[in-house]
A and B are shown apart, each in its own frame.
With several copies, the nearest count.
Chain A
Amino acid sequence: MLSVFATVLRRDLLLAWRRRADVLTALGFFLLVTSLFPLGVGPEPEQLAQIAAGVMWVAALLATLLSVTRLFESDEADGTLEQMLLSVEPLAVIVLAKVCAYWLLTGLPLVLIAPLIALQFSLSPQETGIVCATLLIGTPTLSLLGAVGAALTLGLRGGGALIALLVLPLYVPVLIFGAGAVDRWRAGLDVDGNFALLGACLLVSLAVAPLASAAALRIAQD
């Protein structure tokens, strides 16, 4: 079980390495969206600092949404998914490994680049710290929930947009707790509650999402 986890993780990372551009461009997307918002919204620095956390969170969410669609797609198209379903190893473990690889490739780089973007929005160091911390706990949740959506819509037409429709409602609490933390901190309130809630979201989705995705995949293949 551990070995299949490690193998699938390594496999997905290797695949991504073969497509290095992928990793770079997911980042590029995040950078671009966060730069686009000021363009659309107007350049007043105070206003930007006001909405910075929100914009970064929405961008992270969209970056996930945009790419998570493809989580199982290629495995489905070439028949590897059938083989995963037929494996003696539990499917949920395989799914979890895939989600881990996915997060390492899209979530983590985004968390690492976030301080730079915070700078661009002229956030203070503490605010930057809070935004990055919420992203660090929040993005794995986004990936896990995204996986469920991806599994559910697998093979359905509509793909990306349909996923968005299914998953966004689940993303909303994460977004609110995550983006809200900075606002609370600015208002002088404490943010432990937000972190606790984000952590709880992560734990719950860690427990439920792989199983739910596995079940959805079985249904999709029938």
Chain B
Amino acid sequence: MSEPQSSAARLPGAPGFNLFHYASPQTFYPLAGRLLWPCWLLAAALCAIGLYIGFFVAPTDATQGDSYRIIFIHVPAAWMSMVVYLAMAFWCIVGLIFNTRLSFMMSSALAPTGALWAFVALWTGALWGKPTWGTYWVWDARLTSELILFFLYCGYMALQAAIDDPRRADRAGALIAIVGAVNVPIIYFSVKWWNTLHQGASVSLTAAPTMATTMLWGMLVMALAAWAYTVGAALLRVRAIMIERERHTDWVRQLAQGGGSRT
């Protein structure tokens, strides 16, 4: 019994190229550990600020009253659910091209968080729908495609769980992640392509914002908090995956003998 050798080390020209230095688990593991706490702290701080703006600074909406304040959770969650999926697909493509184990680990580490965001977006959207549309759920294009996104996350995780061999699990999952990425633009543009109940995009880089500045700030701060949380959660999970997958390698054994020094 001995450890499979690092595939990153076999990359042509890998030793000279700096970026690949962190492409191998044993170098990335301590880095991830160091990044962990800053991420958590940032997430907590931004979340506090964002919620403060959202609930105390932002004005009450003329038509919707206070129920609109769900927006401060709903929109960041919806954004993150799409971003995380794209990130997963990105890591899978990197993994397939460069054959780095770490990229696949990143991808599987991101999936549960992405699923969580998709679920939160669906949940808050449904709660919001009751007061505004009079129903929790309608079969509108955006809602449906967001639901599909959630199922894609579930499918990705179920597929990986069903395969024992990590290599095969990685590659099969990658296929789903990449093919499913088609869904993300559909979610984003659905409000444009079909005329639906759901709100169109009101935040855009090119046009002037159509909502109150404080609302916008609250949303953006919350979005940053969600980013920080996502990065933190992904790093935490990727560390766990690394340990679990490489538990028979020397560096993990040394880590275990080193008395759990985390960084």
Which residues of the partner chain A approach B162 to less than 8 Å between Cβ atoms? 19, 21, 153, 156-158, 162
Q: Mark B144-172, 1 if CB is under 8 A from A, else 0.
A: 10011001101100110111010110011
Q: For chain A, what secondary structure do more than half of its interface residues adopt (helix, strand, loop), or is it mixed? A: helix
Q: A215 within 8 Å of B by Cβ?
A: yes
Q: A203 within 8 Å of B by Cβ?
A: no
Interchain nearest-CB distance for B175 vs A (Å): 6
19 pairs from A and B in contact (CB 8 Å cutoff): A19-B162, A21-B161, A25-B158, A43-B138, A45-B135, A122-B135, A122-B136, A156-B163, A165-B158, A169-B148, A169-B152, A172-B148, A208-B179, A212-B175, A212-B179, A219-B171, A220-B172, A222-B165, A222-B171
Complex: chain A residue closest to B174, CB-CB: A219
Binding site for B on A (CB under 8 A): 19-21, 24-25, 28, 32, 35, 38-39, 42-43, 45, 119-120, 122, 148, 152-153, 156-158, 162, 165-166, 168-170, 172-173, 176, 208, 212, 215-216, 219-220, 222
* Complex CA–CA separation, A214 to B193 (angstroms): 33
Q: For chain B, what secondary structure do more than half of its interface residues adopt (helix, strand, loop), or is it mixed? A: helix
Complex: chain A residue closest to B138, CB-CB: A43
Binding site for A on B (CB under 8 A): 135-141, 144, 147-148, 151-152, 154-155, 158-159, 161-163, 165, 167-168, 171-172, 175-176, 179-180, 183, 186
Question: How many pairs, one residue from A and one from B, have CB atoms within 8 Å of each other in the complex?
Answer: 81
Which residues of the partner chain A approach B151 to less than 8 Å between Cβ atoms? 28, 32, 165, 168-169
Q: Is the CB of A219 within 8 A of B183?
A: no
Q: Is the CB of A158 within 8 A of B158?
A: yes
Which residues of the partner chain B approach A176 to less than 8 Å between Cβ atoms? 141, 144
* Complex CA–CA separation, A152 to B176 (angstroms): 9
Q: A120-B137, A168-B151 are in contact. Are A162 and B176 (CB under 8 A)?
A: no
Which residues of the partner chain A approach B163 to less than 8 Å between Cβ atoms? 156
* Complex CA–CA separation, A159 to B172 (angstroms): 15
Checking A122, A173, A215 against B186 with a beta-carbon cut-off of 8 angstroms, the contacting residue is A173
